[in-house]
Structure 1
């Protein structure tokens, strides 16, 4: 399952284990393509990785803090520390390969 995260909850939501946060917006075409891929990954890897999504229009502080200029951006953290940032659409296989490096 992919959970919604906000500027207020992001640090808590991404402080433990491996997390992937999908930064997106409703008007973003590539974001709408990426979203089902993230959903599929969450079903397959949800026991090992926490999946979140953040609407950048409703939550501007966190994307600004991490220098996110383009969406979709997928931010991967491990135990609260940023490990990777992936910009643009990526396949499920590509994302799984990146996530497996941090498990």
Structure 2
């Protein structure tokens, strides 16, 4: 049995003249805790937006071992990704504008 749950291969994305993610590849194994680290502007959030299909990669593929076998996420619409249980949260620095501790 293949233990790879998510596989990103040669992901790149451009926004106009800006290359935000350049040829990123990784595999996430079942049960593994996997992290992306790097400084501000390194492309971490962009990679998560590619996985959740908020963005479409300029190049590359993302495959997911779903309940019915391997599925190419880069061929799916964002709502289909969410129905697979793949989601992301957004960073909110201040959740409640006038709340105090």
* TM-score with structure 1 setting the length: 0.27
| Structure with larger RCO (C-alpha < 8 A, sep 6+) | 1
Greater per-residue helix proportion: 1
Higher-strand-fraction structure? 2
